[in-house]
Amino acid sequence: MNKTLLPAVGLFQLSQRITLYPELVTEKRFWLQLYNIERGVFTVYFYTLSGMLLFQTFLAHKEHYSTHTIWLPAKISTGIYKVAVFSSEHYYLKTVVIR
């Protein structure tokens, strides 16, 4: 797969929160909670540590607070990965372990 360049955007402010859990993924899914963030469409990117994009998905954040389940494709094997969440102006980056 080709590497994708990500847009230059700023970090979410402290009052705006994204939480990813669990950080140790054992069931091919994880959850994203968005809190105090403007409504909009968010893009979730899933990368290897070397920067190769494995998949991406989109979230429609319609409320002040929402929780979204992200299902991992079967091709994702055990290892350490990066998850990036982008809106039009902000981003969030987290490391997860797939077991």
Averaged over 1-26, what is the pLDDT? Answer: 70
How many domains does the chain divide into? 1
Is 90 part of any domain?
yes
pLDDT tens track for 38-86: 888 999 999 999 999 999 999 999 988 999 999 999 999 999 999 999 9
Query: 33 exposed, middle or buried (CB, 10 Å; 0-12, 13-18, 19+)?
Result: middle
CATH classification of the domain holding 34:
2.60.40.3080
Is 37 part of any domain?
yes
Is 4 part of any domain?
no
Sign of the C-alpha dihedral computed for residues 9, 83, 5 and 42 taken in this order: negative
Per-residue pLDDT at 57: 96
By residue range, what is the domain housing residue 57? 15-98
Is 85 part of any domain?
yes
Question: In a 3-state reduction of DSSP, which class is residue 38?
Answer: coil
What does pTM read for this prediction? 0.82
Is 6 part of any domain?
no
